[in-house]
Amino acid sequence: MIHMHITAWSLGIILFFVTYSMYKSGKQAKAMHMVVRLLYILIIATGLLIYKDVHWMPMLYGMKMLGGIWVIAAMEMVLVKTSKQKATGAFWAQFVIVLLVVLYLGLRLPLGFSPFA
């Protein structure tokens, strides 16, 4: 399940940047935006399935889960604001900061890869 989760969020981030660049270049990106939204659902579902099986450090995994939902919300707001050609600076800052925190927690906690353990 962890590999599916990692694959889903890495694909989600890549397609987020593709969709963002399509919106910035003036191309139609509605279909790509819907695919990214589908990946959001897959990311949340696999994250919940992983969280269900955690029996140690549930608070840190809970914080990681809330941070992950915040990252997804920031990604969505960046895409929506970009499609409406409005300012996105605050949402980019949130996205970068919370993504770094969530990646650190994901790499620090025992499940999955542990380069910081």
Locate the domains of the chain by residue range.
Answer: 2-108
Burial class (CB in 10 A: 0-12, 13-18, 19+), 13: middle
Q: Torsion angle, CA of 21/22/25/30, rounded to 10 degrees?
A: -140
Quickly state the pLDDT bin for 26 (edges 50, 70, 90). Answer: very high
**CA atoms of 88 and 24, how far apart (whole Å):** 12
Proportion of the chain above pLDDT 90, given as a percent: 83
| Range 9-17 average pLDDT | 97
pLDDT in tens, 66-87: 999 999 999 999 999 999 999 9
**pTM surpassing 0.95?**
no
Asked if residue 35 has pLDDT above 70, the reply is: yes
**CA atoms of 66 and 105, how far apart (whole Å):** 12
Asked if residue 45 has pLDDT above 90, the reply is: yes
Q: Please provide the average confidence, as pLDDT, over all residues in the chain.
A: 94
Q: Kind and range of the H or E element at 14?
A: helix 2-24
What type of residue sits at position 98? V
More confident residue, 108 or 10: 10
Nearest of 13, 24, 14, 12 to residue 88 by alpha carbon: 24
